[in-house]
Amino acid sequence: MKILVGVKRVVDYAVKVRVQNNTVDLKNIKMSLNPFCEIAVEEAVRLKEQKVADEVVAMTIGPKQATETLRTALAMGADRAIHIMTDLRTDYMELQPFAVSQIFQKIVEEEKSDLVLLGKQGIDSDCGQTGPMLAGLLDWPQITFAANIETDGTSMTVERETDSGTETIKIPQLPAVVTCDLRLNEPRYATLPNIMKAKKKKVDTRVAEDMGIDLSPRNQVLEVFEPAPRKEGIMVEDIDSLIDKLKNEAGVIA
């Protein structure tokens, strides 16, 4: 079984973003592997360690610097990588999920992948659309928000997160597209020897604009602004005062 894992370069989750000129300023800030994509890489590597998968291929779309993101996936255990090069912003401002899904579709068909693992969403755009769109384009079954995956390489049983708990879905025959949620696993730290080995692993580079896909955005972002600052909290003397303020001032309890 060959697994294709999507990885995305995003603003590090611990960074406080700045808004300038009606967009998020990406200059001189720390970028890292999207946390949900990191979970997808970890799951793919675990399936290979269990002898269920034969090869794990990591793929990203982004600028030259996105190679660093691929190296992280390779250090975690991916066998090789594919870098679709573009200078378009991938945080929904320019390159949007439908174009991303079409690029993935082309690579999946070329690679003859049996399973595609993606993060449930990127923490920059929070769209969560690439997985479902890709499944639709490929006409493959999909399971989103995976919290547990069991597969023998032919069929797959997945426990997925829902608003009311979890549900278990079985796919009797692969291929499939699965998006990974937070509870699926805890990603490993890449060891120094594996980081060094990752530098020697193969990374194929292609140019997104040469793939014959319309990369123009379908939607236009009209405004980007920072959230209003939080109001300063207050200290209360006792629990009765707290209940009074929640009831009579905030109106959050009856």
pLDDT confidence of residue 248: 86
Residue of 122, 135, 152, 144 whose CA lies nearest to 51: 152
Q: What is the mean pLDDT of residues 142-165?
A: 95
For the chain, percent of residues with pLDDT exceeding 90: 79
Q: What angle do CA 155, 97, 214 make, to 5 degrees?
A: 115
User: What is the residue-averaged pLDDT of the chain?
Assistant: 94
pLDDT digits (tens, 9 = 90+) for 63-85: 999 999 999 999 999 999 999 99
DSSP state of 244: H
Q: Is the pLDDT of residue 201 over 90?
A: yes
| Alpha helix stretches (DSSP H) within 5-62 | 35-49
pLDDT tens figures, 164-200: 999 999 999 999 999 999 999 999 999 999 999 999 9
Q: What does the pLDDT read at residue 184?
A: 96
**What is the reported pLDDT for 226?**
84
- CA gap 237, 254 in Å, rounded: 21
Task: Give 222-238 pLDDT, tens digit per residue.
Answer: 888 888 888 888 888 89
Q: How confident is the model at residue 152 (pLDDT cuts 50, 70, 90)?
A: very high
Q: What is the pLDDT of residues 31-74, one digit of tens each?
A: 999 999 999 999 999 999 999 999 999 999 999 999 999 999 99
Burial of 73 (C-beta count, 10 Å sphere; 0-12/13-18/19+)? buried
Give the Cα separation of 215 and 10 in Å (integer). Answer: 19
pTM score above 0.85? yes
